[in-house]
Structure 1
Amino acid sequence: MPPTAPSDPEAVRLAEDARREKNWKRWGPYLSERQWGTVREDYSANGDAWAYFPHDHARSRAYRWAEDGLLGITDRECRLCFALALWNGIDPILKERLFGLANEEGNHGEDVKELYYYLDATPTHSYLKGLYKYPQGAFPYTRLIEENHRRGRTEQEFELADTGAFDGDKYWDVTAEYAKASPNDILIRLTVINRGPAPATLHLLPTLWFRNTWCWGSPSDEGKWAKPHLSRTPTGSVLAEHQTLGRFSLTANGPGRLSPDWLFTDNETDTERVFGVPNKTPYIKDAFHEYLIRGQTGAVNPTNAGTKAAAVYRLDLPASGTAVVDLRLRPAEIKGEPFGPEFDGIFADRVREADAFYAARHHHKLATEEQKVVRQAYAGLLWSQQFYHFIVSEWLDGDPSQPAPPPEHKTRRNADWRQLFNRDVVLMPDKWEYPWYAAWDLAFHCVAIAEVDPEMAKGQLLLFLREWYMHPSGQLPAYEWNFNDTNPPVHAWACWRVYKITGPRGGRDRAFLEQCFHKLLLSFTWWVNRKDPGGRNLFAGGFLGLDNIGPFDRSKPLPGGCRLQQADGTAWMAFFCLTMLAIAIELAATNPAYEGVASKFFEHFIAIADAMNTLGGTGLWDETDGFYYDRLEADGHDVRTKVRSMVGLIPLIAAEVLEDAVIDRLPSFKKRMRWLLDHRPDLAQRIAYLDRGGHGRRLLALPSRERLARVVRYLFDEAEFFSPFGVRSMSRFHRDHPYVFAAGGQQVSVRYEPAESPTGMFGGNSNWRGPVWFPVNYLLIEALEKYHHFYGDDLLIEVPTGSGRRLTLRDAARELSKRLIGLFVPGPDGRRPCHGNDPRLATDPHWRDFVTFYEYFDGDTGRGLGANHQTGWTALVARMIENGRPTPPTASK
């Protein structure tokens, strides 16, 4: 990355934070957008997290493990929180957090039903900007639930915009901006715009509160400290006192520099409303709702004290009118005027510095629209950091001060992960739909964020390898619904990529790489011991993140006692093996002790490649079709499940180029490698291990050159995998030719489905039977570039297949990148394919510049699907753009 320069203050802040000179990251957007409906808050007997803590309870019930809020911030331990609350004068509840459908309510699983956008962010959170669009009419809570419940799985989800809530521009734009004057001095600016054609009123309640840590009685909680306290000061500010955080004051003023009214209560559960049990205190969590909406003036504390406070503004704005509310949260000992010219100047400085920071990291001059995509992709990544707190042993046993959970709770979910102790800021896939980490998602998040915050990327990868995260067996925790699930083993790849991204050759962080490598050895051993049941180097690890890609649920026992040998499972392990080999060779350059383990991974890869390509004849390769398939052992014979899907493309990513000049400097590794190839020439002939005269490079890969060319023909065939927007997860061939399989008295089928899942498998909120997914596309692009590095311009392929246009593999990779980038860049009609056909998103100046980064994309139209703020792995588009805007490749006939 570019060197730190005086003209780049954000880079200076990052360096100060990394050296622990200044704690710039102490405060950030670490609030979840949904703490309700999570596993952490579920103490039920049946494990139904959505029903145990529904949205209807969220305003009234204190959370155990974290907090949520609307465009809010908190400190990195989630002690003191700040967020927005809104009321349009009509809704039945305050808008304090995002609403969405529980898993069983949506026709395609859980789904947020709000419109909000992350517009800007810097890595130290010295500047943050987010936008929330709030209807002026009644928010259609009931209609959203009822209509999505009515719709079947073959119909599209019914979204907030579909209800007409924004028709006639009858809505509010509410923007929250944060700027840091110092690590603990935070300036807050809330801008409200009436987009409607007539005067309207909005109640704005900037809210400050303490996370409830005092009522659980748990030894790990801060309940062992004194209960924190909020109080009104004589000067009109709010004083926040916390034994470990310190003393802070929040000062607020509004339009015309008027001071607001303040309301106080306690962040305590309204047990009377939720459980039918009398409250222990008259001042409870939902007091502001009771006061404002129901007119219960006695609901708030008249002494102006408690653990939750809100400033109240009634904003009466004309059509197109704007109101600005400024607040400042800073240490209580700081005196002096909180607002005025200095306040405005700091905001202007932070915006300018954010511009300079990102400008310094654009390796090529970007078009305006590409700049917007890159900036908002990074904003989404940075806003999606979340305080994640989950101590599994305490959750299983229950809290001393609370009723004991039912006995079934202790054995139902994650019972063998008692060592897992989460109390960290973690990169999340999406803070509403996935307000919990997922191990393989995180790997891509770290690669995406490494360019702008290398220390964050390295720290996250190391965190998951710590003994309080990694299982003693060597398994990494998958995600809170099932830590035992088997995500694709991409952590090693992420460590290797981040190592190379975050420093120039000769100046990279070898200590980081070495730390990772030692723990990754444990993870690799776990995979070998647990996921190769036959001991034949053919791996079957469940669905491996590809959810419903096969004809049956691969994570459960198969019908009729069948056993599956997975092309993707085996290829993922080959990929893991080659990455570990590359890391070992890198470390061996300065420590010869790593040559022996490099030899180990070289030999292990050859064994996997041999099994993949030749075991039982041709392994998992089908010579007739020229494609890799899963193989099912049934009734004493093998059957290939001939589904052309991402399963058969994953083998392409298992490729690594070895430089002779590097190998020559490792005599022990070179001797062992030569011995194996001399004594097992049968193995050498069956893998893509080549030594061309004068080439100076060797290729380790699963497919031979001939097999690579055959698979790539499918990959770039527009009637198969190659869509206008990237590589589909399943071939379009199966739209008219579904695959049907019968075993154990059951008949199952797989059909190409370009959009949402038509089945309930895995909750129905994910589909790998046709849509475009960014992470695997990114890995395929990297693989194509590696193959080109080895084969050079000698290997040309048709892109698209059948077009007669022959490209190098590098140019083919650029063409694929160009199509993926095209999901987010407006076409001639102003429409971004990811946004579908809503004309407002193409032409309305108050909508068209806001980009959302979806979980996956329709394989035919490019419409965004799944989680609509999945700015984790989908933020990889920023790297595609910044690594060089794709230029039209040179065709060769």
Structure 2
Amino acid sequence: MSAEKQRLRDTNWKNWGPYVSNRQWGNVREDYSSNGDAWNFASHDAAESYAYRWGEEGIAGISDVKQLFCFAFSFWNKKDKIVKERFFGLSNPEGNHGEDIKEIFYYLDNTPTHSYMKMVYKYPINAFPYDKIRSENAKRSNKEPEYEIIDTGIFDQNEYFDIFIEYAKADHNDILVRITVCNRSTFNAPLLIAPTIWFRNNWKWGYNTYKAQLNAVNDGTIDINHDSISIKKFYSRNNNTKSVFCDNETNNPKLYGTPFSGNTYFKDGINDYIVHGTNTINPEKTGTKASFLLDETIEGGASKTFDFRLSPNDLDEPFDQFDEIFAQKIEEANEFYNEIQSDVVDDDEKNVQRQAFAGLLWNKQFYHYNVGKWLKGDPNFDAPRDFNNYVRNTEWNHMHNKDIISMPDKWEYPWYATWDLAFHCVPFSIIDAEFAKGQLLLLTKEWYMHPNGQLPAYEWNLSDVNPPVHAWSCFRVFKIDEKQNGKPDLLFLEKVFQKLLLNFTWWVNRKDKNGKNIFGGGFLGLDNIGAFDRNMVLKDGQHLEQADGTSWMAMYALNMMRIAMELAQYYQVYEDMAIKFFEHYLYIAEAMENLGEGTKGLWNEEDGFFYDVLQLGNGNSVSLRLRSIVGLIPMFAVEIVDHKLLENMPNFTARMEWILKNKPELTKLVSHWDEEGQGRKHLMSILRKNRLTKVLSRMLDEKEFLSTYGIRAMSKVYEENPFIFSVHGTENVVYYTPAESDSRMFGGNSNWRGPIWFPINFLIVESLQRFHYYYGNSLKVEFPTGSGDKRNLDEVAQNISNRLCSIFLKDEHGQRPFNGGNPKFNYDENFRDYITFFEYFHGDNGRGVGASHQTGWTATVAKLMKPRLM
């Protein structure tokens, strides 16, 4: 067993990790405005002076699991107007496509216990173009691409520093830190390096008065005095180190014009001292925030290394064996991943997969949000909420989050999203199944899940409705964990099943508008997928019957049935629950076919596709014949049951036979689950064979959904001939838009009108594999449509998987499609092997779009990296 696997058995190794956000400003938790303007209440420019309430931010930051104490790096090139303490980006109103980080950095390595971590940040030698980025983006419309830092030309002459930041743990609470600064230019350049430690401010809100302290011992040592923190010393290995101190307190005089009082050295004290030489650091060398200052000149083309240590011990020689420990932890990280990647042959694929895992692990974050306290304010700081108008999350007063959670992206999405997290957990289960299971269980806890059974969506609106994929993820993780460990974790499966019963009931009671097993939900996570806002309250009794909402629920029912069947192999009591979900699935399948007397079903025989249906107040209905992934989601409602499972479930088998005999209206509308497939298997699917082939003919058509890089979110036929639909007197026009959104319906960076999304593509690949497991070579389809080439569904799934992986892999020209053809990213030796896992990808050329480090659901590519057939 590798050293890292042994460490995974001891949770103390996760006491410290990369749990500091990349952005704490501009989020809901820090918003104490009266109008809910989170982006402007705590902005990027105010962040240097504003002490946060709920969390902290920093560059390559680490903290303890309760984020009482933090460490991160700051830099100054002696040309910027501020010290680089945090990554810069535009707020949602500033960006022409919403919020957008404007920095270049890459997550290169990380182990599940964070025993070794590595990233690289590319910091310009010349003045950072803050104003140019803001002004240029302000000029651009939502029809134009985003203006990125690479577009400013600041990297054109290689006038930047590559700053490699590494961590290695000598023990649970003993952390070695190394940065290597490489000057990529041809001339000498100054750089001030400021490794910074600080305490999260827990003392000013009115709940306690305990205030820990940092104190200088000598120029190379700082004492850390906190009664709950094991680390007691901060050491610098460098001879020219100077220590400076201030307090993690808001600079009210600067931000709000209040008069100065006392001798407070505010949060921005070190910044102001460095940049302006002001007397804003504590001469007594004590405070709640401190930095070592290393004023360096890096020669052109050369590099320098700087070492630091956070230790629980008073060490005479804190850097004894430092190099050896680092080398050992790197070797152990390689040993761990060599075992994980034993079946991945190609070196480029290994590189992509390892960086995908690194991004997953670096995007873990301490997330703290007590909604009750946030709504009412603190004893020392009132919250000016205007409850007569809109205030977020008032229905979630019970919620109290204070955990390490996997974030989609710690800058653009520094808050968990429930359905995102379900996808994160699948690749997570490959490297750390216990963490994956813990995350899935966490969201079902009573201090997360609403008392009515709803799972929280995301902090901007906890009551929004995301696709119900939690059960799918739970069973997927359960099976991966069972395969890796050789035994099933039945306790985990039972726990999540019991809580998901509540959530399933919530869906049935709240999102089935007329009690007919047709489900809505509005948004359902699919930003901008419809002709109009699907959260819109329609007039005159009109309402939308959603093909995706109903299909997600059919999938949910089958997922719950399968979990119950698994548990029934050990505990007979679950057999009745399996029957219940099997029948519920059949009722949903029937409802999709027949919405009621005189109304259209969700299936359109003429087009061979599923569509949303708008029910009119007069009893008529209109099929919204917009071909999008809404019509592909019915594919996900598929389950294959081995006959040996049924042999241990006589009651379930008897009930199936009774339904077959007495309820033909329920069985004729779905695939013939009563007919055994290859190897005595039974198929349960909304799509029987003829409908499946019709949907696939659309999906695998290069003129519609099939791209060189995966399956598009919308048919390409709308590129020249848009879909037009009128509602409430407004004409809604939908074009195929393969990349950035042309609509701000759900925010500026939201677009499902053409791009390639990994979560949906991942489910498509899995569904095709399941269908093939049943049909084998008896079902082949034209691939691509119109080519005359017939492939079985496993071959189709593998080909789509290859297309998805190719987004990140070098092509025959040495380019990685996600780089969008940028020659520096593709060919420069200091860029070409670094990967960023974007939120989504251009539907035609594979360029990365949206959040640049969303190594959450896009990390599912790591699960696709395996010996692949072309």
Q: TM-score, normalised by structure 1?
A: 0.95
Match of 2:354 among 372, 375, 388: 375
Count residues in correspondence: 864
Partners of 2:625 and 2:712 in 1: CA distance: 17
Alignment of 1:804-823 (within 5 A): 804-823=788-807
User: What residue in structure 2 maps to residue 891 of structure 1?
Assistant: none
Q: Which amino acid aligns with 2:167?
A: Y
**Contact map agreement 1:570 1:612 (CA 8 A) in 2:** yes
SS in 2 for 1:434: coil
Match of 1:494 among 470, 473, 477: 473
User: What residue in structure 2 maps to residue 520 of structure 1?
Assistant: 500
**Displacement of 1:16:** 2.3
**Displacement of 1:689:** 3.0
Instruction: Say whether 1:485 aligns with 2:469.
Output: no
Instruction: Say whether 1:829 aligns with 2:813.
Output: yes
**Displacement of 1:618:** 6.2
Match of 2:106 among 117, 134, 156: 117
User: What residue in structure 2 maps to residue 86 of structure 1?
Assistant: 75
Partners of 2:519 and 2:676 in 1: CA distance: 35
Match of 1:284 among 259, 262, 266: 266
Match of 2:433 among 454, 457, 475: 454
User: What residue in structure 2 maps to residue 144 of structure 1?
Assistant: 133
SS in 2 for 1:264: strand
User: What residue in structure 2 maps to residue 262 of structure 1?
Assistant: 243
Instruction: Say whether 1:9 aligns with 2:24.
Output: no
Q: Which amino acid aligns with 2:153?
A: G
Instruction: Say whether 1:325 aligns with 2:302.
Output: no
**Displacement of 1:845:** 0.5
Instruction: Say whether 1:312 aligns with 2:301.
Output: no
Structure 1 residues 309, 886: CA separation in 2 closer, same or farther (over 3 Å shift)?
same
Structure 1 residues 684, 404: CA separation in 2 closer, same or farther (over 3 Å shift)?
closer
Match of 1:571 among 535, 542, 551: 551
**Contact map agreement 1:252 1:260 (CA 8 A) in 2:** yes
Instruction: Say whether 1:643 aligns with 2:637.
Output: no
Structure 1 unaligned blocks of 5 or more: 18-22, 889-893
Give the superposed CA RMSD. 1.4
User: What residue in structure 2 maps to residue 133 of structure 1?
Assistant: 122
Partners of 2:377 and 2:578 in 1: CA distance: 46
Partners of 1:147 and 1:68 in 2: CA distance: 26
Deviations 1:686-717 (A, max 9, x none): 11133336741111101110000000011111
SS in 2 for 1:547: coil
Instruction: Say whether 1:654 aligns with 2:637.
Output: yes
Match of 1:196 among 185, 188, 206: 185
**Contact map agreement 1:829 1:842 (CA 8 A) in 2:** no
**Contact map agreement 1:46 1:408 (CA 8 A) in 2:** no
**Contact map agreement 1:559 1:746 (CA 8 A) in 2:** no
Deviations 1:35-70 (A, max 9, x none): 000100001111110111111110001000100001
**Contact map agreement 2:376 2:382 (CA 8 A) in 1:** no
Alignment of 1:185-224 (within 5 A): 185-218=174-207, 223=208
**Contact map agreement 2:408 2:416 (CA 8 A) in 1:** yes
Instruction: Say whether 1:536 aligns with 2:512.
Output: no
Partners of 2:48 and 2:662 in 1: CA distance: 70
**Contact map agreement 2:744 2:750 (CA 8 A) in 1:** no
SS in 1 for 2:430: coil
**Displacement of 1:560:** 5.3
**Contact map agreement 1:46 1:409 (CA 8 A) in 2:** no
Partners of 2:441 and 2:29 in 1: CA distance: 23
Partners of 2:515 and 2:395 in 1: CA distance: 25
Q: Which amino acid aligns with 1:477?
A: P
Structure 1 residues 75, 478: CA separation in 2 closer, same or farther (over 3 Å shift)?
same
Q: Which amino acid aligns with 2:399?
A: L
Structure 1 residues 865, 588: CA separation in 2 closer, same or farther (over 3 Å shift)?
same
SS in 2 for 1:606: helix
Partners of 2:489 and 2:275 in 1: CA distance: 56
**Displacement of 1:247:** 5.0
Partners of 1:233 and 1:589 in 2: CA distance: 63
Deviations 1:171-209 (A, max 9, x none): 111111000000000000011111111111011101111
> Runs of 4+ in structure 1 displaced over 6 angstroms?
none
**Displacement of 1:234:** 4.6
Instruction: Say whether 1:626 aligns with 2:608.
Output: yes
Structure 1 residues 247, 328: CA separation in 2 closer, same or farther (over 3 Å shift)?
closer
SS in 2 for 1:451: helix
Q: Which amino acid aligns with 2:311?
A: R
**Displacement of 1:678:** 1.3
Alignment of 1:525-604 (within 5 A): 525-558=505-538, 561-604=541-584
Q: Which amino acid aligns with 2:188?
A: P
Partners of 2:668 and 2:616 in 1: CA distance: 30
User: What residue in structure 1 maps to residue 324 of structure 2?
Assistant: 345
**Displacement of 1:403:** 3.8
Alignment of 1:687-706 (within 5 A): 687-692=670-675, 695=678, 696-706=680-690
Q: Which amino acid aligns with 2:280?
A: A
Q: Which moved more, 1:383-392 or 1:630-639?
A: 630-639
Partners of 2:486 and 2:308 in 1: CA distance: 46
SS in 2 for 1:125: coil
SS in 1 for 2:234: strand
SS in 2 for 1:802: coil
Q: Which amino acid aligns with 1:768?
A: W
Partners of 1:236 and 1:138 in 2: CA distance: 30
Deviations 1:458-481 (A, max 9, x none): 000000000000000000010000
SS in 2 for 1:169: coil
SS in 2 for 1:764: coil
Partners of 2:676 and 2:249 in 1: CA distance: 75
Alignment of 1:733-772 (within 5 A): 733-772=717-756
Q: Which amino acid aligns with 2:158?
A: D
Deviations 1:531-555 (A, max 9, x none): 0011111111112111110000001
**Displacement of 1:410:** 9.2
Match of 1:413 among 380, 388, 392: 392
Structure 1 residues 656, 519: CA separation in 2 closer, same or farther (over 3 Å shift)?
same
Q: Which amino acid aligns with 1:684?
A: T
**Contact map agreement 1:396 1:409 (CA 8 A) in 2:** no
User: What residue in structure 2 maps to residue 709 of structure 1?
Assistant: 693
Instruction: Say whether 1:731 aligns with 2:715.
Output: yes
User: What residue in structure 1 maps to residue 647 of structure 2?
Assistant: 664
User: What residue in structure 1 maps to residue 856 of structure 2?
Assistant: 872
**Displacement of 1:387:** 0.3
SS in 2 for 1:374: helix
Instruction: Say whether 1:51 aligns with 2:40.
Output: yes
**Contact map agreement 1:854 1:874 (CA 8 A) in 2:** yes
**Displacement of 1:734:** 1.1
User: What residue in structure 2 maps to residue 34 of structure 1?
Assistant: 23
Structure 2 unaligned blocks of 5 or more: none
Deviations 1:499-547 (A, max 9, x none): 0011229611010000000000000000000000111111111121111
User: What residue in structure 2 maps to residue 606 of structure 1?
Assistant: 586
Partners of 2:564 and 2:419 in 1: CA distance: 22
User: What residue in structure 1 maps to residue 667 of structure 2?
Assistant: 684
**Displacement of 1:27:** 0.4
Q: Which moved more, 1:277-286 or 1:651-660?
A: 277-286
Partners of 2:388 and 2:7 in 1: CA distance: 45
Deviations 1:392-447 (A, max 9, x none): 00000101012442444996110110110010000000000000000000000011
**Displacement of 1:741:** 1.1
Partners of 2:580 and 2:510 in 1: CA distance: 19
**Contact map agreement 1:251 1:328 (CA 8 A) in 2:** yes
